[in-house]
Chains A and B, each alone.
Chain A
């Protein structure tokens, strides 16, 4: 009978899924959000 593997163990046994998550999470949270913040900053008006 096949042993039932816990979903989190399956995640930990899948380096490709971990790689995808490891790229997506910081890219969305740090890089993309940071870009949006910078792009939406109004230009400074000169005195």
Chain B
């Protein structure tokens, strides 16, 4: 049969099932020459568009990151205060919102079409989503760079930005929500048309968990940003500052939980692509995703642990109890993903000693190294710092210090961004159908980026432990009558942060240049498999 394809098995009992029937319109699908998976051509277009815009946002946010880090490094202190705060706002939105959301919409389209052998639910919705997201992101960036929104990413009221800033965020949020709805629509038609048998594959289940968390996130975004937008135009008299903080963190932190879910799904996907790994126990892995769906959003409460507006019971339940159920889920994934790789490597005969399988792993494959380093950085540095900062007693000491960015740079950058980079090393050959140039450089890139992020994150965390505040242009209060001053230890750590940031930026730039060169000028892959990494 012409369009017979093998799709991944969803039940542990079954191996690989052959599913002959997709629901693609004639001429609107192709079979990947490398994986044998079906690719919906409409979805392929929007995966490409979202990936390109994601990388553009990554570049913009990355340049801002370097300039900010070189300002926070007291020995350099590059920018003036106006541009420091302006670019910190710009950096946060481009890196934490735009880069991640564009990539995640692309991942949702890929998971729901290719892995379920289905067409995309609606091309019109995909266009609406993409246009709104691009328009919103451009509006936000232009407003910030025009000096009309120096309010930081959190934009806590009563700090007031130009109304276009809030409108841009609303457009991005609604555009993303339409993309998520398109994903759920695709799940619906795939099940209706019986394009797969049994449960959905684990990667699709993880993407579903990410989409559910995204819905909660974006509803909070609409809830907080629409009244704030009206307030910025003087239509509403005021927005309560405490209420704003509560609901905003339902957007600000929960959006990072979407990242966690998408990143873990990418780990499972890359583990399969690079080593042939299969999840050891579907029920355990899916159970961990269910814990994310139910409990991970409650972790937003740790941002309000020093807030007087909410009570101790609310704080203790939402952080010290409920959050640990989500942490448990991360620990499960942190063990099951490497365990699946170990099993796959041992099956291939790499049984020497306790860690012979790990030594024999495909470390020269940037898809593997990026995902495994992402797992280590997220699990060890990000996880340990996150759990401690989510504890009320420690939070009181560490709140608003550089320890906080030290934590989230190891989760969002060392974890999510690095995993997404690893994914790109397969998305470009499989979806853009182009080969990478300079493959030796591509093999080194994940290590370069990972080393830089680890140094930067540790430098931030330890400087924060010395009391260095976050989001501060001049911690020495130069010229003030009573300068507090920080010891040499803090300065060494800030220097470490600066050196790490420079290395990470070189790694980031390498990734972007390699990817842009491959997408626009790479050797075409037609009627053949991609060159293996």
Q: From A31, which residue of chain B is reached at the shortest CB distance? A: B250
CB of B87, distance to nearest CB on chain A (Å): 31
Which residues on A sit within 8 Å (CB–CB) of B208? 15, 18
Quick check: A31 and B220 within 8 Å, CB to CB? yes
CB of A7, distance to nearest CB on chain B (Å): 12
Which residues on B sit within 8 Å (CB–CB) of A11? 290
Quick check: A30 and B300 within 8 Å, CB to CB? yes
Query: Does residue A38 face the partner (Cβ distance < 8 Å to B)?
Result: yes
Quick check: A30 and B294 within 8 Å, CB to CB? no
CB of B240, distance to nearest CB on chain A (Å): 8
Which residues on A sit within 8 Å (CB–CB) of B375? none
Quick check: A19 and B215 within 8 Å, CB to CB? yes
Quick check: B215 and A12 within 8 Å, CB to CB? no
User: Given A25-B294, A37-B311, A38-B310 in contact, is the A13-B318 Cβ separation under 8 Å?
Assistant: no
Stretch at the interface among B46-54, B149-157, B241-249, B464-472: B241-249
Q: From B294, which residue of chain A is reached at the shortest CB distance? A: A25
Quick check: A18 and B309 within 8 Å, CB to CB? no
CB of A34, distance to nearest CB on chain B (Å): 5
User: Once the chains are docked, how many angstroms separate the CA of A26 from the CA of B293?
Assistant: 9
**Prevailing SS type, chain A contact patch:** helix
Quick check: A12 and B187 within 8 Å, CB to CB? no
CB of B187, distance to nearest CB on chain A (Å): 6
Query: Does residue B283 face the partner (Cβ distance < 8 Å to A)?
Result: yes
Q: From B184, which residue of chain A is reached at the shortest CB distance? A: A15
The A-B contact count (CB < 8 A) is 82
Quick check: A22 and B293 within 8 Å, CB to CB? yes
CB of B532, distance to nearest CB on chain A (Å): 34
Query: Does residue B111 face the partner (Cβ distance < 8 Å to A)?
Result: no
Quick check: B246 and A38 within 8 Å, CB to CB? yes
Q: Which of A12, A19, A33 contacts B314 (CB 8 A)?
A: A33
Interface mask (B401-414 → A, CB under 8 Å = 1, otherwise 0):
00000000000000
User: Given A26-B298, A27-B216, A30-B318 in contact, is the A12-B290 Cβ separation under 8 Å?
Assistant: yes
1-39 of chain A: CB within 8 A of chain B: 8-9, 11-13, 15, 18-19, 21-23, 25-27, 29-31, 33-35, 37-38
Q: Which of A9, A23, A29, A35 contacts B322 (CB 8 A)?
A: A29
Which residues on B sit within 8 Å (CB–CB) of A25? 294-295, 297-298
Which residues on B sit within 8 Å (CB–CB) of A22? 209, 212-213, 215-216, 293-294, 297
Q: From A5, which residue of chain B is reached at the shortest CB distance? A: B199
User: Given A9-B199, A27-B216 in contact, is the A21-B294 Cβ separation under 8 Å?
Assistant: yes
Query: Does residue B56 face the partner (Cβ distance < 8 Å to A)?
Result: no
User: Once the chains are docked, how many angstroms separate the CA of A41 from the CA of B312?
Assistant: 13
Query: Does residue B449 face the partner (Cβ distance < 8 Å to A)?
Result: no
User: Once the chains are docked, how many angstroms separate the CA of A11 from the CA of B216?
Assistant: 19
User: Once the chains are docked, how many angstroms separate the CA of A37 from the CA of B208?
Assistant: 32
Q: From A11, which residue of chain B is reached at the shortest CB distance? A: B290
Query: Does residue B317 face the partner (Cβ distance < 8 Å to A)?
Result: yes
Which residues on B sit within 8 Å (CB–CB) of A37? 309-311, 314
Q: From B213, which residue of chain A is reached at the shortest CB distance? A: A22
Which residues on A sit within 8 Å (CB–CB) of B318? 29-30
Query: Does residue B178 face the partner (Cβ distance < 8 Å to A)?
Result: no
User: Once the chains are docked, how many angstroms separate the CA of A26 from the CA of B504?
Assistant: 35
Which residues on B sit within 8 Å (CB–CB) of A30? 250, 297-298, 300-301, 318
Which residues on A sit within 8 Å (CB–CB) of B213? 22
Q: Which of B247, B294, B295, B317 contacts A31 (CB 8 A)?
A: B247
Q: From A34, which residue of chain B is reached at the shortest CB distance? A: B246
User: Once the chains are docked, how many angstroms separate the CA of A45 from the CA of B301?
Assistant: 27
Q: From A30, which residue of chain B is reached at the shortest CB distance? A: B298
Query: Does residue B306 face the partner (Cβ distance < 8 Å to A)?
Result: no
Which residues on B sit within 8 Å (CB–CB) of A23? 212, 215-216, 219
User: Once the chains are docked, how many angstroms separate the CA of A45 from the CA of B246?
Assistant: 23
Q: From A36, which residue of chain B is reached at the shortest CB distance? A: B314
CB of B533, distance to nearest CB on chain A (Å): 33
Q: From A39, which residue of chain B is reached at the shortest CB distance? A: B243
Which residues on B sit within 8 Å (CB–CB) of A38? 240, 242-243, 246, 309-310
User: Given A30-B298, A30-B318, A34-B246 in contact, is the A41-B309 Cβ separation under 8 Å?
Assistant: yes
Q: Of residues A9, A11, A29, which shows the largest number of chain B Cβ atoms within 10 Å of its Cβ?
A: A29
Query: Does residue B286 face the partner (Cβ distance < 8 Å to A)?
Result: yes
CB of A18, distance to nearest CB on chain B (Å): 6
CB of A30, distance to nearest CB on chain B (Å): 5
User: Once the chains are docked, how many angstroms separate the CA of A37 from the CA of B243?
Assistant: 10
User: Once the chains are docked, how many angstroms separate the CA of A23 from the CA of B200?
Assistant: 21
Q: Which of B246, B254, B294 contacts A35 (CB 8 A)?
A: B246
Quick check: B297 and A26 within 8 Å, CB to CB? yes
Interface mask (B180-222 → A, CB under 8 Å = 1, otherwise 0):
0000100100000000000110000100110011011001100
User: Once the chains are docked, how many angstroms separate the CA of A16 from the CA of B254?
Assistant: 20
CB of B256, distance to nearest CB on chain A (Å): 14
CB of A24, distance to nearest CB on chain B (Å): 9
| Closest CB pairs A-B (n = 3) | A26-B297, A22-B212, A22-B293
A-B pairs with beta carbons under 8 Å apart, 25 shown = A8-B287, A9-B199, A12-B290, A15-B212, A18-B290, A19-B184, A19-B215, A22-B216, A22-B293, A23-B216, A25-B295, A25-B297, A26-B254, A26-B297, A26-B298, A29-B298, A30-B301, A30-B318, A31-B250, A34-B246, A34-B314, A35-B243, A37-B309, A38-B240, A38-B243
